[in-house]
Amino acid sequence: MPIFEYKCNKCGKDFEKLVFGSQAVKCPKCDSGDVRKKFSTFGMSGVQNSGSSGCGSCSSGSCSTCH
C-alpha cells in the first residue's frame, strides 16, 4: 500500500498519508488541499555515496580515524 509524505503549503505541517489512486489529499491539521508531495528517502539505506571514504562512522571523505 502506498504511503506518501506530504508538506502542507498553508500551515507547514509534514505528514504521511495512505493514498489510493487519485484520491485528494488534505492536511490533517488545517484541512487545506494545498499540499505537496515530498521526496521520500525510504528504501535508500545502504546506498553509498561515490565520494565517500567507505567509513560508516563519519561523513568526511578523508577521515584519518577510519584507516
Question: For the whole model, what pTM was predicted?
Answer: 0.56
Edge to edge, the sheet with strand 35-37 lists 14-18, 3-8, 35-37
Spatial contact of 39 and 48, defined as CB atoms under 8 Å apart: no
Task: Give CA–CA dist 30/53, Å, rounded.
Answer: 45
6 vs 56: which has the higher pLDDT: 6
pLDDT of 48-57, one tens digit each? Answer: 554 444 555 5
Give all strands (DSSP E) within the chain, no chain letters. 3-8, 14-18, 35-37
- Quick check: 14 pLDDT over 60? yes
- Quick check: 35 pLDDT over 50? yes
Mean pLDDT value across residues 30-37: 96
